[in-house]
Structure 1
Amino acid sequence: MYRAKTRDIEVAVEPYYLEEQSSPEDSRYVWGYHIVIDNQSDLTVRLMQRYWHITDQNGLVDEVEGPGVVGEQPRLMPGDSYEYSSGCPLDTPSGMMFGHYTMETEEGERFNVSIPAFSLDSPGLMRVLN
């Protein structure tokens, strides 16, 4: 489990390899990831946007951004948490992702909450830290 906390909002990520959707012989590797956003602050916030920085094993970078997550812009009151799952395909057997969510308070203040960097590794692949 990978974790990051910004302004008392914690983001926890659990990546997993989706073997049934992957096809190594066709250079297609797919991971899922489960995210829990836990609002430990005293503010009510809404998740407005997401930004992902995805890097494959060859250093090719893909940046993804857009409104909300999985078609939603959840509102989290103090003590609330929100969970969702999504996925990421790559052309290489490993990579990494990190990013941020743009949150908005009820007063209209916007700030970014970090999504921790996490590795995407195919089963049986030796991990190498750079």
Structure 2
Amino acid sequence: MVAQITEGVKVSVETIYQPEYSNPANEHFMFAYKIQIENLGNYAVQLLRRHWQIFDSNGTKREVEGEGVVGLQPVIEPGEFHEYVSGCNLRTDMGTMQGAYQMKRLVDDEIFDVSIPEFSLIAPYKLN
């Protein structure tokens, strides 16, 4: 698991290779990732947008941007957290992801970015 704190918001990430949804012969490798966003600050925050940079080990880079996460724009109260699971497909059996969430502090409507730490997507057989 990797984690990073930005402006009082902690983002933790765990990844899981999904062989049942992968097809290596067709360069299709599926990974799931579970993210926990924890509000360590004193004021409620709302997640507005996400921006991802996805890298395959063959040098391919993709960017994904959009509103919220898995269809939600959660409000996270102080001391609370929001968790979700999503997925990413790669054309290789190794890669990385990193990014940022655009958040709003509800007490003053200040918009700020929270870093999503870089994490690896690696098929387990590559680790042997």
2:91 matched to which residue of 1?
91
Q: Which runs of 5 or more residues in structure 2 are unaligned?
A: none
1:34-55 C-alpha deviation (Å, 9 max, x unpaired): 0000101001110000000000
- Deviation, structure 1 residue 74: 0.1
1:124 matched to which residue of 2?
125
Q: Which runs of 5 or more residues in structure 1 are unaligned?
A: none
1:89-113 C-alpha deviation (Å, 9 max, x unpaired): 0111110000010000112110000
Query: How far apart, CA to CA, are the structure 1 residues paired with 2:105 and 2:8?
Result: 13
Identical columns (%): 43
1:108 matched to which residue of 2?
109
Query: How far apart, CA to CA, are the structure 2 residues paired with 1:103 and 1:29?
Result: 31
Query: How far apart, CA to CA, are the structure 1 residues paired with 2:68 and 2:97?
Result: 17
1:22-71 C-alpha deviation (Å, 9 max, x unpaired): 01111100000000001010011100000000000111110000000000
**1:20 aligned counterpart, secondary structure:** helix
Give the count of matched residue pairs: 127
2:43 matched to which residue of 1?
43
Query: How far apart, CA to CA, are the structure 2 residues paired with 1:17 and 1:105?
Result: 34
**2:126 aligned counterpart, secondary structure:** coil
Provide the TM-score with structure 2 as the length reference: 0.96
- RMSD value, Cα: 1.0
1:1-130 aligned within 5 A: 1-106=1-106, 107-126=108-127
Following TM superposition, where does structure 1 have runs of at least 4 consecutive aligned residues deviating by more than 2 angstroms?
A: none
- Deviation, structure 1 residue 17: 0.1
Provide the TM-score with structure 1 as the length reference: 0.95
